[in-house]
Structure 1
Amino acid sequence: MFPHGEEFTRQDTLRGTITPERAWWDLQHYHLEVKVDPDTKSLSGKNTVKYKVLEDANRMQIDLQAPMQLTKAEQDGTELEIEHDGDAHFITLLSDQPVGEEKELVLTFSGTPVEAIRPPWDGGLTWQKDSNGLPFIANSNQGIGASIWWPNKDHGYDEPDQGVLMSVTVPENLMDVSNGRLIGTDHDKAAKTKTYHWEVKNPINNYGININVGDYVYFGEKYKGEKGELDMDYYVLRENLKKAKKQFEDAPKMMKAFEHWFGPYPFYEDSYKLVEAPYLGMEHQSSVTYGNAYANGYLGRDLSGTGWGMKFDFIIIHESGHEWFANNITYRDVADMWIHESFTAYSENLFLDYFYGKEASKEYVLGTRMAISNDSPIIGTYNVNSEGSSDMYYKGANMLHTIRQIVNDDEKWRSILRGLNEEFYHKTVATRQVESYISQKAGINLSPIFNQYLRDIRIPIFSYNLKDGELFYRWENVVVGFEMPVKIYVDGKELDLKPTQRWQQIAIPQEDAKISVDENYYVGTLNISGD
């Protein structure tokens, strides 16, 4: 039933499918109110969900994962019955739900959320302390889902069109930093707490909503960007202020490179923030979290093995790249996570391209090939909350680098990347939409290439035979219908070919000519001469 041999449960289906109990209502806004208790590692609060009625229905699915508890649901002052089915909760609404109208549902929740063991990969809440013994707390929940800690419509296809208001209550000696802009702070002296109100005006994916609690200090700058003045704000632990002021110089450099390649930063209204977190980092929208030890590379290591990866802070560049690919353009189904990770892994070498040139970016992206496993397809299984292979990072990046060679026009390629962010601005998308757009704008049918690299684990092999003054060549190890133009070198002389799965031939007078494929193409080669 499932193409990769996985087994899935009813809970996977409830989480990963646009169920009838989800389809009839469209998210408009969340007001998430949450109190963080560091002593008990617990959360409590309520979420007011504003939605628009699309169809005649009254049974709603809300997601909240155990051990968190959804304790109450209210609409128009009436408490409603909740039917619990694992991590999915079904609420039958009693009041009329006229099509086209906006309604509100108030959800009350509390509990001790799952604690992250290896954040951000396994997901959950992280409860640590800084060097002064003060609490240092954050969530990271891509994959496992935002419903690990607060009740919501936990599926990628629907984002709150009118944004989110977050009201986060923490001990008075700490600060919360969340998405968007800080619009107010309340102090309850009796309870010895402060409540920070953060407003997001743009649509936002659920997993990108975050809380960061600690002894933060602030610094910032104004960036003159493509859409005017952008606030770039930085929140770090008090003890790391000096290091952060130096390391975060990569942030405006990132913005300059990525606005060049991808178009304007997509959330000027909500500002851009880097926030220190007690784990490596995550692409929370307008609140990018940072934990890369204030060092270049990936925790001080070059993932490409070329030296170029030490020219930038990996977390600042990679996680900020997600503002365009993940937060601006968001997958509808987690099976299409490559839309987030392939483009963003590719953004690393585009950053190098902008500041250090095309040869540097080429060396970097080719160097990352050593991280590719080719163990399972990049695209996962749809409708069951299943992501594909981790090859979505650097195999995906090398696929895009290969397509850049096929387009063979850097300005056109840049216009395609910028055009994606304009065409799908603040939208959720499926793979086919992205594929079609790139093919259309490139003027080339790239479907065979996407099928090969996204849906198959094999790497195309350029097979050739030099015999009697002719070069015979074709593609092998490929999906049905695969064809891709490629650049080869014959004794160093460039030659453009359009191989298919059928043998073709071209005159090559030199019997002992040295044949090589341009290494920018992510393919293998096989010389069968003499067989």
Structure 2
Amino acid sequence: MVRYLLFFICLLGFQKNHAQQFTRKDSLRGGFSSERTCYDVQRYDLNITINPEEKSIKGYNDITFKTLKSTQKIQVDLFENMKVDNILFEGKPLEYKREFDAVFITFPKPLTVDGIDKTIRFYYSGNPEIAKYPPWDGGFVFKTDSQGKPWIGVAVQGTGASLWYPVKDSQSDEPDFGATIKVAVPDGLMNVSNGRFKGSENLKNGYTRWDWEVKSPINNYDITVNIANYAHIHDTHNGLDLDYYVLPENEERAKKHFEEVKPMLDCFEAKFGKYPFAEDGYKLVETSYLGMEHQSAVAYGNKYRKGYMGTDTSGTGIGMLFDYITIHESGHEWFGNSITSKDIADMWIHEGFTTYSESVFIECVYGYEKAMEYINGQKNRVSNRSAIIGKYGVNHKGSNDMYYKGALLLNTLRHIINDDQKWWKILLKYSETYRHKIIDTETVITFFNTETGQNLTPIFEQYLKYKNIPELEVVFKKKEVKFRWLTDVSDFKMPVILKQDNKEIRLEATNEWKTQSFKNDNAVTFDDYRFLIKIKYD
């Protein structure tokens, strides 16, 4: 997801510090109740009509699932402002009870673990919440283009996909066999959703339905609609279909601007493995809001500018060499869309790796030194006000340091390993091992420990579970220096690099004092360029 503006960073920081109490509603939304874990979603089949004038949705979602344990009740989620019209199973209506945004559905008799797919048809309608500051707060976006025609989108990461359709609204369960998204819109408009276009049908009632199909597993919040009078640009790269849907007045500009996609794909495929959703294609879809990583239909709203809304997040100037939204949101295809965190408390798995992918792209195109300059520039964006990891089971994200600090943690790990060939091999294996999988922080730590042969657990825990970064305490004496790490975790070990007379000495530092002697009194410095650390000189 795109980064929060400064206003929202401050606002959310205030909320975290002053409203850290969780409710039954939070547990229903973020928890793993038996009514959720008793079934495994196989696919979603949405069939809806969107009325731009009324700002309304009406239709149904077929939810196909397998029973994992015998149950007579399941939880499906839909925001309480949306109306449940009817829920059918085997053609007969089911009883249900609503509690906040949860809908508890009761079957006539217990569902058994028989390996057979079961499908409920969930009819619903209503006016979904409208985002005030998309994509930083979730909701629908009803705008018009320069010709006054409707231009509609949706962005609901964090807020929840159940804002606009009935779904098991948890990152812990993706539909194993994808989804179909059929959306009827007024004649003369087009809807673009995830996956492949399967055709359109004029419904003879002033509406045309546009049908899309996703064959890969997909995050609930990634399922999207984009409604406008779009022009379509088609291209290919190394056998991958590239499709761009843009406003007609931007068609020629987009053709040139989106050429950046090809070197990006070459870089990311070399470093992270093949594009994870080739069977669904790759799309950029122009939106009135800034952007969002909607799988195989990435929302693009950076107005064909370099940088992030025309600025450089690193403050180095290097961020103006590429379009941040194209690179960052596409990086999410590997990290967030392909590799997904089970709980949003672990969203650094999405955002830290994806923010790091920005510097990876720079390194591919402009070299190591430029990449290091860029990622070091991002240190000024790290707040260290609260932990990166949030509270589990209550729909709670951690600090927005998950972006920059998460990326700088990975850059630190690279230089702890101190072997670039090994580093890129590990990163590639990580991406391929957990392709289309749902994981947690412990899985990430175990993987890196195994692949490096090192115990990196204290390092991960310090950066992720505590607000403070490691602080190196340094005391100089004549021809020697004493140093140790000050950390929240115990048994912390991480290398330090000392520089004297244009030479480097790499030493292992711990929480205990260590001493290094030198042959002369020439100045000694510690490297904080390849690591995210503080240095405290006594």
Smaller-chain TM-score range? over 0.9
Partner in structure 1 of residue 10 of structure 2? none
Q: Tell me the SS of whatever aligns to 1:498.
A: strand
Paired letter, 2:333: E
Does the aligned pair in 2 maintain the 1:70–1:151 contact within 8 Å?
no
**Distance between the aligned counterparts of 1:62 and 1:461, measured in 2?**
46
Match in the other structure for 1:12: 26
**Superimposed CA distance per residue, residues 364-412 of structure 1 (whole angstroms, 9 cap, x where no aligned partner):** 0000111111111000000000000000000111111010101111121
Q: Report what 1:265 is aligned to.
A: 275
Letter in 1 for 2:81: P
Alignment of structure 1 residues 15-30 onto 2, 5 Å: 15-30=29-44
Residue 502 of structure 1 corresponds to 512
Task: Report the equivalent of 2:382.
Answer: 372
- Contact 1:488–1:518 under 8 Å retained in 2: no
Give % identity.
Answer: 46
SS at match of 1:58: strand
Pick aligned residue for 1:298 from 303, 308, 315: 308
Name the structure 2 match of 1:73. Answer: 87
2:419 matched residue in structure 1: 409
> Contact (CA 8 Å) 1:461, 1:525: kept in 2 or not?
yes
| CA distance in structure 1 between the partners assigned to 2:159 and 2:260 by the alignment | 30
Q: CA deviation at 1:86?
A: 1.1
Post-superposition shift, 1:113?
0.4
* Partner of residue 526 from structure 2, selected from 516, 520, 526: 516
Shift in Å, 1:246: 1.5
Amino acid at match of 1:98: T
**Structure 1 residue 512: Cα displacement:** 4.0
Partners of 2:163 and 2:404 lie apart in 1 by 29
Letter in 2 for 1:210: T
* Shift in Å, 1:518: 4.3
Of 289, 295, 301, which aligns to 1:285?
A: 295
| Residue type at the aligned position of 1:245 | K
Hey, what does 2:185 align to over in structure 1?
170
Q: Supply the RMSD in Å over aligned alpha carbons.
A: 1.4
The answer as to whether partners of 1:62 and 1:89 remain within 8 angstroms in 2 is yes
- C-alpha displacement at 1:420, in angstroms? 1.3
Structure 1 residues 86-108: Cα deviation after superposition (integer angstroms, max 9, x where no partner): 11010101155221221000100
Q: Distance in 1 between matches of 2:225 and 2:143?
A: 14
Q: Does 1:82 align with 2:92?
A: no
User: 2:459–2:494: 8 Å Cα contact kept in structure 1?
Assistant: yes
Q: How many angstroms apart in 1 are the aligned matches of 2:83 and 2:109?
A: 24
Deviations 1:310-359 (A, max 9, x none): 01000000000000000000010000000000000110000000000000
Given that 1:3 and 1:381 are in contact with CA atoms closer than 8 Å, whether structure 2 keeps it comes out as: no
1:4-403 pair list within 5 angstroms: 6-95=20-109, 97-99=111-113, 100-189=115-204, 191-224=205-238, 229-403=239-413
Question: Matched residues in 1 for 2:421 and 2:187: separation?
Answer: 52
1:56-92 per-residue CA deviation (whole Å, 9 max, x = no partner) reads 1110101001321122111001101110111101010
Report the secondary structure of 1:139's partner residue.
strand
8 Å contact from structure 2 (residues 177, 217) kept in 1: yes
Taking the aligned partners of 2:478 and 2:153, their CA distance within structure 1 comes to: 67
Tell me the TM-score normalized by structure 2: 0.95
In 2: Cα distance, 1:171 partner to 1:359 partner: 52
CA distance in 2 between partners of 1:203 and 1:518 (Å):
41
Looking at structure 2, the residues matched to 372 and 453 of structure 1 have their Cα atoms a distance apart, in angstroms, of 12
Aligned residue pairs total 522
3-state SS in 1 of match to 2:378: helix
Cα deviation for residue 443 of structure 1 reads 1.7
Tell me how far apart the structure 1 counterparts of residues 259 and 498 of structure 2 sit (CA, whole Å). Answer: 41
Return the alpha-carbon distance in structure 2 between the equivalents of residues 459 and 36 of structure 1.
Answer: 48
Alpha-carbon shift at residue 479 of structure 1 (Å): 2.2
* 1:433-486 superposed Cα distances (whole Å, 9 cap, x missing partner): 011111211221111111111011112122222224322111124422221112
Which residue of structure 1 lines up, in the alignment, with residue 4 of structure 2? none
- Distance (whole Å) between structure 2 residues aligned to residue 459 and residue 292 of structure 1: 33
Shift of 1:523: 0.7
The TM-score with structure 1 as length reference comes to 0.96
The amino acid of 1:399's aligned partner reads: L
Q: Which amino acid aligns with 2:94?
A: L
The one-character-per-residue Cα deviations of 1:11-58 (angstroms, maximum 9, x if unpaired) are: 100010111101111000100111110010001110000000111111
1:491–1:515 CA contact under 8 A, matched in 2? no
Q: Is contact 1:115-1:125 (8 Å) kept?
A: yes
Q: Which amino acid aligns with 1:432?
A: E
- In the TM superposition, what is the alpha-carbon distance from 1:509 to its structure 2 partner? 2.2
Give the aligned residue type for 1:161.
D
* Inter-partner Cα distance in structure 1 for 2:183 and 2:340: 26
Q: CA deviation at 1:230?
A: 0.7
2:142–2:153 CA contact under 8 A, matched in 1: yes
Counterpart residue number, 2:451 = 441
Q: Partners of 2:442 and 2:395 in 1: how far apart? A: 18
Q: Does the Cα contact within 8 Å between 2:171 and 2:220 map onto a contact in 1?
A: yes
Stretches of structure 2 that go unaligned for 5 or more consecutive residues are: 1-15
The question of 1:464 aligning with 2:478 is answered no
Between the aligned partners of 1:74 and 1:486, the Cα distance in structure 2 is 63
